Amino acid sequence: MSAAANADRSVRRPVSIASFAQSDNVRRENERNEVEMLQPVVAEVFANIGIDKDDIHFICSGSTDYLIGGPFSFVTALDAVGVWPPRAESHVEMDGAWALYEAWVLLQEGEIDTALVYSFGRSSPGNLQEILALQLDPYYLAPLWPDPVSLAALQARALLDAGKATEEDFAAIASRSRKDALGNPKAQVSNDISTEALMKDDYVVSPLRRHALPPITDGAAAIVLAAGDKAREWSDNPVWITGFDHRIETHSLGARDLTSSPSTAKAGEVAGVADGAVDVAELHAPYAHQEIILKEALGLGDGVRINPSGGALAANPMMSAGLIRIGEAAARIAAGEAGRAVAHATSGPCLQQNLVCVLEGGE
């Protein structure tokens, strides 16, 4: 842990990402229900470190009812864990990255040492373009059914108009992401394709071409957090969370500067991103242009390796894509490829809500 991070956040208790697992990310999980999709992921996240559910002190999950069009999907999902005897457990109607935040908060108090965090979502049963329109103001916006691609396109246009990026930049990000995804067995979209070739894609909603959009993905992910002795017991080289924060912006797109992300910048500042060199960043940028905005907000220079997993352009399972960023960033440190990494998650239209988690290896 860097000295600066320690000085700023001396009250914070070190918490480690002890284990991470994710399902294959697929276009259509058409056979298994949520429980059946999640159960092997939970089993794997325990098996990775040789523990079972009885080693877990707190459980927190992230999901949303609207993806499959039925209330209380998080309720039955608990069967994938087997919460018997009864467990301290909670659920956020948010990406699992925020569930991880809730668990991390609890671990700060020192009363408990371990937590299981998981999230899941099948986007394939419904029409995501319509479903996500329901995230918008129910009086002024949702009745017009603006789809998330169109809203992202408004943001991309603003970025182009501001001279902060070109359409080639979007394609270059997609090209790099897909190429990196070749090394990620869990990725959904991966290939070796040049920026020039991608520029031949049609617009879906101008100025966004097909490659600048995330795939529609079904998937699930899980992380085990450990603090204190448990962290060292479960890993010889723990990956520590050394900074963690999240912020939200106003909902009204017309009251925001869409070319910047002050909420990411603020979360990054509180999380202490700038307190040390960043080797790797896993940014939850569902749309290619959003990576540019996030990089700027976090002050990440060209030396920072962005989304070695392929990022959300390679797989974007709703409610898990943010949690996976944290898992992937931790995996890079655990693999010795990075010493310090930044993970980011987003929610809402045009990066309305953002979370930043700083991870470090070492003692």
Partner 1 sequence: MPEGEALHASHVLEYPYSRSVGPVIGAFMTGLRDGKLTGVRGAGGSVIVPPTEYDPTTGDDTGEMVEVGPGGVVESWAWVSDPLPKHPLDKPFAWALIRLDGADTALLHAVDAGGPDQIATGDRVTVRFRPVAERIGSMADIDAFVPEGGAS
Partner 2 sequence: MAGETTTEELGPVTTLATPIRLDFEFTPGIALSGFLRGLEQGKFIGQRCPKCGKVYVPSRGSCPTDGVPTTEEVELGNAGTVTTYCVVNVPFAGQSIEIPYICAQVLLDKANISFMGLIQEIPTDEIRMGMRVEAVWVDPSELTPTLASVKYFRPNGEPDADYDTYKEYL
Partner 3 sequence: MAERCAVIGVGQTHHKAKRDDISIAGMVREAAKMALTDADLTWSDIDAVVIGKAPDMFEGSMMPELYLAPALGAVGKPMLRVHTAGSVGGSTSIVAAHLISSGIHQRVLTVAYEKQSDSDAMWALSVPQPFAAPLLAGAGGYFAPHIRAYMRRSGAPEHIGRMVAVKDRLNAIRNPYAHLHLPDIDMKTVEESMMLWDPLRYLEACPSSDGAAAMVLAAEDSVSGSYPPAWIHGMAMRSEPTQFAGRDQVNPQAGRDCSADVYAQAGITNPRAEIDVAEVYVPFSWYEPMWLENLGFCDLGDGWKLTEAGATAFDGDIPWNTSGGVLSSNPIGASGMLRFLEVAMQVRGQAGEHQIDGVSRALGQAYGGGSQFFSMWVLGSDKP
Of 86-105, which residues contact partner 2 (CB under 8 A)?
none
For position 258 contacting partner 1 by CB under 8 A, the verdict is yes
Ramachandran region, residue 115 (left: φ > 0; alpha: ψ -120 to 50; beta: rest): beta
The smaller minimum CB distance to partner 1, of residues 146 and 339, is found at 146
- Placement of tokens 């089993």 in the chain: 43
Q: Are the C-beta atoms of residues 207 and 160 closer than 8 Å to each other?
A: yes
Residue 209 or 246: the one with the smaller Cβ distance to partner 3 is: 246
Site string for partner 2, 44-83 (x = CB under 8 A): ---------x------------x-xx------x-xxxxxx
Angle at alpha carbon of residue 321, lines to 313 and 188, rounded to 5°: 45
Is residue 166 at the binding interface for partner 1, with CB under 8 A as the rule? no
Contact partner at residue 245 from partner 1, partner 3, partner 2, none, CB < 5 to 8 Å by partner kind = partner 3
Rg from Cα positions in the chain = 19
CB proximity list for 184: less than 8 A, separation 6 or greater: 190, 309, 310, 314, 315
Interacting partner of 193 out of partner 3, partner 2, partner 1, none (Cβ under 5 to 8 A depending on kind):
none
For residue 30, the minimal CB distance to partner 1 (Å) is: 7
DSSP run (H or E) holding 115: strand 114-122
Ordered strands of the 218-227 beta sheet: 58-62, 114-122, 218-227, 15-22, 240-248, 353-360, 340-347, 280-282, 305-306
Supply the minimum distance, in Å, between the C-beta of residue 124 and partner 3: 16
- Candidate list 52, 76, 140, 166; residue touching partner 1; CB under 8 A: 140
Q: Does 126 bind partner 2 (CB under 8 A)?
A: yes
Choice from 6, 13, 24, 32 touching partner 1 (CB under 8 A): 32
Cβ nearer to partner 3, comparing 177 with 347: 347
One-letter amino acid at 218 equals D
Q: 341 and 335 in contact (C-beta within 8 Å)?
A: no
Determine, following the binding rule CB under 8 A, whether residue 251 of this chain makes contact with partner 1: yes
Pick the binder of partner 1 from 39, 108, 150, 195 (CB under 8 A): 150
Task: List contacts with partner 3 (CB under 8 A).
Answer: 11, 59, 64-66, 69-72, 74-76, 78-79, 82-94, 98, 101-102, 105-106, 108-111, 131-132, 134-139, 142, 245-252, 262-263, 266, 347-349, 352-353
- Strands (DSSP E) contained in 2-57 are 15-22
Quick check: 203 binds partner 1 (CB under 8 A)?
Answer: yes
**By the 8 A CB rule, do 154 and 258 touch?**
yes
Span of 25-33, 46-54, 109-117, 296-304 interacting with partner 1 by CB under 8 A: 25-33
The set of residues, in sequence order, having a beta carbon less than 8 Å from that of 50 and lying 6+ positions away, is: none
Least Cβ distance, residue 128 to partner 2 (angstroms): 10
Whole-Å CA distances, 58 to 81, 86, 118, 230: 12, 10, 11, 14
Question: Which CB atom, from 158 or from 319, has the smaller least distance to partner 2?
Answer: 319
Q: Which is nearer to partner 2, 142 or 162 (CB)?
A: 142
Q: Which amino acid does the sequence have at 199?
A: M
Straight-line distance from the first to the last Cα atom of the chain, in angstroms, rounded to the nearest whole number: 7
Three-state secondary-structure class, residue 39: helix
- The C-alpha atoms of residue 263 and residue 355 are separated, in whole angstroms, by 8
- Decide if residue 156 touches partner 1 (CB under 8 A): yes
By CB under 8 A, name the binding residues for partner 1. 30-32, 69-70, 125, 129-130, 133, 138-141, 143-147, 150-151, 153-158, 161, 203, 205-208, 250-255, 258
Which residues sit at the interface with partner 2, rule CB under 8 A?
30-36, 39, 42-43, 53, 66, 68-69, 76, 78-84, 124-127, 130-131, 134, 138-139, 142-143
